[in-house]
């Protein structure tokens, strides 16, 4: 555990913040900060074409299911407890720079997705990693890195998606109703099995209902606390900015700033919250039948904005304005959040928040189960491989309900940090492809938008073709994409 903690702090704790900021700044510059002029397009992207079996909105809800939950409710409290109030500032910074990375990786996921025998799309980061290196003349390296990424994603699915979510749900239910974690873990596994055995469509149908419903409940409760404690909000923001630029005593210079707990925990918990830049979300977005990769990419930005800038900020403010009244066991970050709400709204609020944690956690378990299955699908086309992973995943859910959260958080930090390093490299290499796709989508609607990629003309279709074969119009797209 100490070795893992050291590695996460001194390796990923330095590299991940730097890489997120650097690659995010690179993309914002290359795309000439197009987002502020296309806010309307970002929300219009929520509309889907008629007759789609897998709509853009459903894909967005599946992706949000993987981010909403522990990252918002538990991860923010963990960041504050371990890194101070200043962690919230770095959560905002990482999300601002990372949202453009979410856009880029979703665009690539859409362009390099595959289609099964029934014409249903699927894909993810391993596919565009392999394609991009193959196009660059390094097919073996692409196969190796794609496989490594898939293995890391499967590991993160077990740690982050299965064990951490189950642990948070078990804590919430035990504190709310006194039910044993073993029983909670068993129930999650059973319900998860009946949903996940139907594939991505089953998970998407459930999350399409759960995510919007619980988001509304969560926002209402958070706003109620902030309205009642409105006088404390200015001082809360003051503490956030003060803590962000005050590294721990005895730690100075740039190295100390990067290694400060505020930067590390704020960035890593922000990344675990919105997953931007680590390459997981393309797996969910690739299931959409949306034809425009850039339009679906805009939904990736919506995902980060809703998850981090709105919901995580609400959680952080609720915790800070209630800081003096929080009663929590050491290391129990969930109880920190629940007590922050109950301190203002009373015991009923804690019960509602416990239910929200349980439902959000279950939705995230479904989403990460899908991510893990797709990773195994990339590694092996055998049906037994997917079934074996499902059994292992559901077993991890049961174990996670009773496991110590600290070790699992360390495993999640390691896996997501390594995935980010691989994915960030590929995003840099594929910047021209993302830029051309963006240019083609924006040009008919925004005559003032002329990114540097526009000189290259129409971007070629990637191997595997990112659009349904029956709707392909460009002669550069193969007539029949193969999986």
Residue 475: inside a domain, yes or no?
no
pLDDT level of residue 106 (50, 70, 90 thresholds): very high
Residue 140 makes CB contacts below 8 A (sequence gap 6+) with none
- In angstroms, the CA 185 to CA 239 distance is 38
Instruction: Enter the tokens of residue 20.
Output: 């997120």
The band of 91, judged by pLDDT with boundaries at 50, 70 and 90, is confident
Note the pTM of the prediction, 2 decimals: 0.79
Instruction: Specify the pLDDT at position 414.
Output: 81
In a domain, 469, yes or no: no
Q: How far apart are CA 169 and CA 188, in angstroms?
A: 9
| Whether residue 475 has pLDDT greater than 50 | no
Question: What percentage of the chain carries pLDDT values higher than 70?
Answer: 74
pLDDT digit string, tens, across residues 174-192: 877 788 888 988 999 998 8
Q: 480 in a domain, yes or no?
A: no
Q: Does 145 map to a domain?
A: yes
pLDDT at 157 over 70: yes
Exposure of 98 by Cβ count < 10 A (0-12 exposed, 13-18 middle, 19+ buried)?
Answer: buried
| pLDDT tens-digit map of 425-460 | 999 999 999 988 888 877 665 555 454 444 443 344
pLDDT band at 77 (very low <50, low <70, confident <90, very high): confident
Residue 477 lies in a domain: no
* Stretch 196-207: mean pLDDT: 76
Q: Is residue 465 assigned to a domain?
A: no
Q: What is the pLDDT of residue 236?
A: 92
Q: Is the pLDDT of residue 200 over 90?
A: no
Chain-wide mean pLDDT for the chain?
A: 77
Measured in residues, the chain has a length of 483
Domain that holds residue 343: 2-445
DSSP 159-171: IIIIIIHHHHHHH
Give the range among 254-258, 331-335, 415-419 with minimum mean pLDDT: 254-258
Rounded distance, CA 46 to CA 40, Å? Answer: 11
Q: How many helices (H) and strands (E) does the chain have?
A: 23, 2
Q: List, in sequence order, the alpha helices (H) in 401-447.
A: 405-429, 431-442
Is the Cβ–Cβ distance between 233 and 318 less than 8 Å?
Answer: no
Q: The domain spanning residue 249 has which CATH number?
A: 1.20.1740.10
Whole-angstrom distance, CA of residue 164 vs CA of residue 294: 32
pLDDT, tens only, 256-276: 344 445 555 555 555 555 677
- Decide if pLDDT at 250 tops 80: no
CA–CA separation, 30 and 437 (whole Å):
13
Q: Report the 10 Å Cβ neighbour count for 3.
A: 8
Q: Contact 322/225 with Cβ under 8 angstroms? A: yes
- Structure confidence at residue 472 (pLDDT): 35
The whole-number average pLDDT for the span 85-95 is 82
Structure-block tokens of residue 60? 């967005």
* Number of domains observed in the structure of the chain: 1
Residues 6+ apart with CB under 8 A from 138: none
pLDDT over 90 at 133, yes or no: yes
Of 64, 104, 449, nearest to 277 by C-alpha is: 104
- Range with the lowest mean pLDDT among 130-134, 213-217, 229-233, 411-415? 411-415
Is 363 part of a structural domain of the chain?
yes
Lowest average pLDDT, out of 43-47, 160-164, 329-333, goes to 43-47
Q: Helices (DSSP H) in 245-346: which residue ranges?
A: 253-259, 261-274, 281-285, 293-304, 313-321, 333-345
Per-residue pLDDT, 144: 94
Quote the CA–CA distance of 134 and 463 in Å, as a whole number: 9
More confident call, 353 vs 114 = 114
pLDDT over threshold 90, residue 110: yes
Q: What region, left, alpha or beta, does residue 253 occupy, with left being phi > 0 and alpha being psi -120 to 50 degrees? A: left
Q: Is residue 148 part of a domain?
A: yes
Mean pLDDT of 198-223: 81
């Amino acid at each position: 555990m100490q070795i893992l903690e050291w590695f996460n702090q001194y390796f990923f704790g330095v590299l991940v913040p730097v890489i997120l900021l650097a690659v995010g700044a690179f993309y914002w510059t290359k795309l000439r900060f197009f987002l502020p002029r296309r806010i309307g397009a970002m929300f219009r992207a929520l509309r889907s074409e008629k007759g789609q079996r897998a709509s853009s909105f459903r894909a967005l809800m599946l992706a949000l299911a993987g981010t909403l939950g522990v990252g918002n409710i538990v991860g923010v409290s963990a960041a504050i407890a371990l890194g101070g109030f200043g962690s919230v500032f770095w959560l905002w910074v990482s999300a601002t720079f990372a949202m453009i990375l979410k856009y880029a990786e979703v665009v690539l996921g859409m362009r390099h997705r595959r289609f099964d025998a029934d014409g249903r799309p699927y894909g993810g980061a391993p596919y565009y990693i392999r394609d991009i290196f193959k196009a660059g003349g390094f097919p073996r390296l692409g196969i190796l890195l794609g496989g490594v990424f898939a293995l890391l994603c499967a590991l993160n699915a077990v740690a982050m998606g299965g064990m951490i979510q189950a642990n948070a749900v078990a804590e919430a239910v035990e504190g709310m109703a006194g039910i044993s974690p073993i029983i909670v873990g068993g129930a999650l596994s059973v319900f998860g099995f009946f949903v996940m055995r139907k594939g991505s469509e089953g998970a998407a149908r459930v999350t399409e209902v759960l995510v919007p419903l619980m988001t509304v409940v969560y926002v209402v409760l958070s706003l109620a606390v902030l309205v009642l404690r409105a006088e404390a909000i200015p001082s809360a923001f003051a503490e956030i900015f003060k803590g962000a630029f005050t590294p721990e005593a005895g730690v100075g210079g740039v190295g100390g700033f990067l290694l400060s707990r505020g930067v590390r925990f704020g960035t890593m918990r922000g990344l675990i919250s919105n997953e931007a830049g680590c390459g997981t979300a393309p797996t969910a977005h690739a299931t959409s039948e949306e034809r425009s990769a850039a339009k679906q990419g805009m939904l990736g930005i919506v995902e980060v904005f809703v998850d981090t800038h709105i919901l995580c900020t609400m959680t952080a403010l609720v915790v800070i304005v209630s800081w003096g009244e929080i009663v929590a066991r050491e290391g129990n970050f969930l109880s920190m959040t629940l007590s922050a709400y109950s301190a203002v709204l009373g015991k009923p609020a804690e019960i509602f928040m416990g239910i929200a944690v349980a439902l959000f956690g279950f939705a995230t378990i479904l989403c990460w189960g899908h991510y893990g299955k797709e990773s195994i699908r990339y590694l092996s086309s055998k049906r037994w491989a997917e079934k074996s992973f499902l059994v292992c995943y559901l077993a991890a859910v049961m174990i996670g309900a009773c496991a110590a959260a600290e070790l699992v958080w360390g495993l999640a930090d390691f896996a997501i940090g390594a995935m980010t390093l691989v994915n960030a490299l590929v995003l840099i290499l594929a910047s021209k492809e993302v830029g051309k796709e963006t240019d083609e989508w924006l040009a008919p609607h925004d005559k003032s938008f002329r990114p540097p990629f526009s000189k290259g003309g129409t971007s070629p279709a990637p191997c595997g073709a990112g659009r349904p074969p029956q709707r392909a119009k460009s002669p550069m797209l193969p007539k029949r994409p193969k999986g």
